[in-house]
Amino acid sequence: MEAEVPNFVFDAYSGVPLTPSAFPVKSSYAVGESVYIHFCVKNVGNKASTATVTVTDLDTGAVITTYSIPITDPGWRWKTSGSGAFVGPMPNKNWRLQLKVEP
């Protein structure tokens, strides 16, 4: 018998054209301006579950923010709304972000 396991991966955001993984809502941000991103995750496991997306600053290793994804059935996707997910204010540097989804 196969164990029931949730497993989430980033999936193409269904905008036009399809965009892989995460992308910013705007092409550039001024220092101090609120940064928003879009992303889509898919449950490729065989059990309905929630997931967590963690956004990390690659230069400092600091966790910027986390998002809780609602219960998603196997084979289904969840994506950010039209306004996107708030990351934080744009710092005075080239911000390199990493997104990780678990489980």
**pLDDT for 54-85, tens place per residue?**
999 999 999 999 999 999 999 999 988 888 89
pLDDT at residue 14, as a whole number = 62
pLDDT at residue 57, as a whole number = 94
Annotation: CATH topology of 8-102: Immunoglobulin-like (2.60.40)
Distance, CA of 71 to CA of 91 (rounded, Å): 33
Contact 52, 86 (CB under 8 A): no
One-character DSSP codes across 28-54:
---TTPEEEEE-EEEE-SSS-EEEEEE
pLDDT at residue 1, as a whole number = 54
* pLDDT over 60 (residue 26): yes
Question: Using one digit for the tens of pLDDT, what is the confidence trace for 3-25?
Answer: 777 789 888 776 555 656 778 88
Question: Using one digit for the tens of pLDDT, what is the confidence trace for 77-93?
Answer: 998 888 889 999 999 99
